[in-house]
Amino acid sequence: MDLLPIVLTVVAGVAMGAINNVAGGAGVLGLLAFEYGFGMPLSSANPSTRLAAVAIGTFACLGFLRAGRKIPKAAFAQALCALPGAWLGSQLALGLPPLVFRSYLAVVMALLLRQMLQKKKPDTTPRPAWLAALGCTVIGLHMGYVQVGTGLVATLVLAHAYDRDLLAVNTAKSIVVIVTSITSATTLALAGAIVWTPAVALACGAGVGSFLASNWSVKKGQDAIRKVVVVIAALTLAEQLRQIVLLLTA
């Protein structure tokens, strides 16, 4: 196997880890590295991003702790609620076609952009516990099925729980990402769907990028994070729409 694709994948992983720590959506960089660097089909590229997700969640958590942020206690319950969805989503990743993948991700990015750009005051009405648990299950489902944009989906779901304090959201989502990504990676690995050399290369870079970005995230605050969320969501949406056009015209 050539060294150049591995090096480029590690570099893509660093960028992916840093951006996903701060906002989310950069998993598309991993897909691009796999698809264009290694010539992997989406059916292999998508599952192989899960190791990087494990690294991002783990090193994000370590980075936040190092920067003096405490993990919200509610995050552990939220992670457990997300776990069943991660297993189910992984089953879907093994069977659904690329057009469904691209279309779903485009819808999620559009919803995230709508939430980040709306100017009205956030709804602070208390939500029932079952609805909050369902939202966390959706985070796990997304991680298992797509992985790309899990951080953005977590932001969408957890923003209400933490009064849109994006620093608190990022800290909590690191725990949710750890639990759901390990569940998904294990499920997909047992199914033989992960290509290990590219997956490990991406994970190594992602872990480094995620750890370094944690300190930046704490220093810059939630306004800077919000801007990154909007930019990444918009770019990811544009990429998915382009892929959908290509699939429909092929």
pLDDT exceeds 60 at position 222: no
- The distance of Cα 220 from the centroid of its chain, to the nearest Å, equals 21
- Return the axis-axis angle of helices 166-190 and 74-93, rounded to nearest 10°: 40
The percentage of residues in the chain with a pLDDT greater than 90, rounded to a whole number, is 46
- Band (pLDDT 50/70/90 cuts) for residue 44 is very high
Where are the alpha helices (H) located in the chain, listed in sequence order? 3-22, 27-32, 42-48, 50-66, 74-93, 98-117, 129-145, 150-158, 166-190, 196-220, 222-249
Q: Residue 126 has what pLDDT?
A: 61
Task: Quote the Cα angle for 50-160-119, to 5°.
Answer: 110
In 3D, which of 243, 245, 248, 174 has the Cα closest to residue 206?
174
- For residues 209-216, average pLDDT: 77
CB–CB of 169/226 below 8 Å?
no
pLDDT exceeds 80 at position 199: yes
Q: Residue 190 has what pLDDT?
A: 97
For the chain, which residues make up each domain, given as ranges? 3-249
Q: Which of 50-64, 194-208, 221-235 has the lowest mean pLDDT?
A: 221-235
Q: Residue 109 has what pLDDT?
A: 82
User: 52 Cβ partners below 8 Å, 6+ apart?
Assistant: 13, 16, 17, 27, 30, 199, 202, 203, 205, 206
Residue type, 20: N
